[in-house]
Amino acid sequence: MKCLPEVAQLAKDHGALVVVDAVCTLTTMPLQMDEWGIDVTIAGGQKGLSSIPGVSLIAFSEEAWNTIKSRKARQPHWCLDALRAQTFWGSQQYHYTAPVPGILAIHEALRQICEETLPVRFERHRTSSIALQAGIETMGLQLFVPIRDRLNSVVAIQTPLDTDNAKIRKTMSTRFHVEISGAFGLDIMRIGQMGEQCRSQNLFKVLYALGMSCRQQGVDLDVSLGMAELERNLVIDPENLVD
């Protein structure tokens, strides 16, 4: 996210439209669509918004919308036709059967976001993420992404040597009822901490489950020290954390 304005400007300098997948970052950290020159922003209801999957949000810049309106070719599928979708939402012309429960769910999620306010929500994710990162590293695991490039909503962890991260994640699920993700093509584990999942009780639970599951695979970790570091960073200024 820190380099996104520069990437967007580079794309604009070459005449390209900028499309951003913000499913993990919308409402978890600042995203200035207009100021950064982003043309299309897409986000699912789940993850950052902490709603349910099945309903997505999409926003277009004026330039992107004019590009859509100027297209002469018919869209290959109705679900890709933004103009028809706009007539559905703006002019009540039939496009598809609306997913009413999903719309109500995302309405409630957005209401809660407005009630919390974005500055408070951003700070909650920032503080929680830095605290979790500190706990993971103090426990003895290594994070995959350099500190300057990390998101506040997802933490990537290098799989310990001579272990199988699928087995670690299975233990976390079956023994501790905690689900985290692997990755496509990379030997890492990913912890999503977004929306209502980004609460202190969930951070403690996932860190303990991760540490104990790694230990079951023979990894030498100090889980107690990591838990203590997580707690310490939740109650002090996380700006004091250094790389």
What would the DSSP string read from start to end of 206-223?
Answer: HHHHHHHHHHHTT----H
**Cβ–Cβ < 8 Å for 85, 56:** no
In the Cβ-directed half-sphere of 243, how many Cα atoms lie within 13 Å?
8
Tell me, yes or no, whether 106 and 146 share the same domain: no
Higher per-residue pLDDT: 123 or 2: 123
Q: Quick one: average pLDDT of 40-51?
A: 93
Q: Which of 116, 144, 179 is the last residue of a domain?
A: 116
- Please indicate, yes or no, whether residues 68 and 129 belong to a single structural domain of this protein: no
Return d(Cα 243, Cα 237) in angstroms, integer.
Answer: 15
Average per-residue pLDDT in the chain?
92
Indicate the length of the chain as a whole number.
Answer: 243
- My answer on whether 111 and 27 are in the same domain is yes
pLDDT-based confidence at 149, cuts 50/70/90? Answer: confident
Cβ neighbours of residue 223 closer than 8 Å, sequence gap 6 or more: 139, 207, 208, 211, 212, 215
Name 190's bridge partners: 156, 181
111, 131: one domain: no
Amino acid at position 88, single letter: F
Same domain, 177 and 233: yes
Same domain flag for 126 and 189? yes
- Note the pLDDT of residue 240: 43
**CB distance 207 to 227 below 8 Å:** yes
Query: Could you tell me the CATH number of the domain that includes residue 55?
Result: 3.40.640.10
Q: At which of 55, 84, 116 does a domain end?
A: 116
Q: Give the pLDDT confidence score for residue 241 in this predicted structure.
A: 46
- Give the pLDDT confidence score for residue 236 in this predicted structure: 60
CATH code for the domain in which residue 219 is found? 3.90.1150.10
Instruction: Tell me: do 9 and 45 sit in the same domain.
Output: yes
Domain identity same for 55 and 90: yes
Supply angle C-alpha 131, 155, 182, rounded to 5.
145
Q: 173-192 pLDDT, tens per residue? A: 999 999 999 998 899 999 99
pLDDT band at 60 (very low <50, low <70, confident <90, very high): very high
* Residue 91 three-state SS: helix
Q: Can you name the residues that pair with 21 across neighbouring β-strands? A: 42
Mean of pLDDT values over 79-90? 87
134 and 154 share one domain: yes
Mean of pLDDT values over 71-79: 85
pTM for the whole thing?
A: 0.87
> What's the structural domain count of the chain?
2
> Minimum mean pLDDT among 33-42, 146-155, 177-186, 229-238: which range?
229-238
- Residues 104, 143, single domain; the answer is no
- Predicted pLDDT at 58: 94
pLDDT at 1: 59
**What confidence tens digit (pLDDT) does each residue in 102-137 have?**
999 999 999 999 999 999 999 999 999 999 999 999
User: Which runs of consecutive H residues, i.e. helices, occur in the chain?
Assistant: 4-13, 33-36, 62-70, 82-91, 100-116, 118-139, 165-176, 200-216, 223-235
- At residue 91, the pLDDT reads 87
- State which of 57, 82, 116 marks the end of a domain: 116
> Same structural domain for residues 176 and 92?
no
Q: 138 and 150: one domain?
A: yes
CA distance 44 to 23: 5
Q: What is the mean pLDDT of residues 135-146?
A: 96
Which of residues 196 and 131 earns the better pLDDT score?
A: 131
CA dihedral over 63, 65, 68, 69, signed as positive or negative: negative
- Span 2-8, mean pLDDT? 86
Range(s) of the domain holding residue 149: 119-240
Per-residue confidence (pLDDT) for residue 243, from 0 to 100: 42
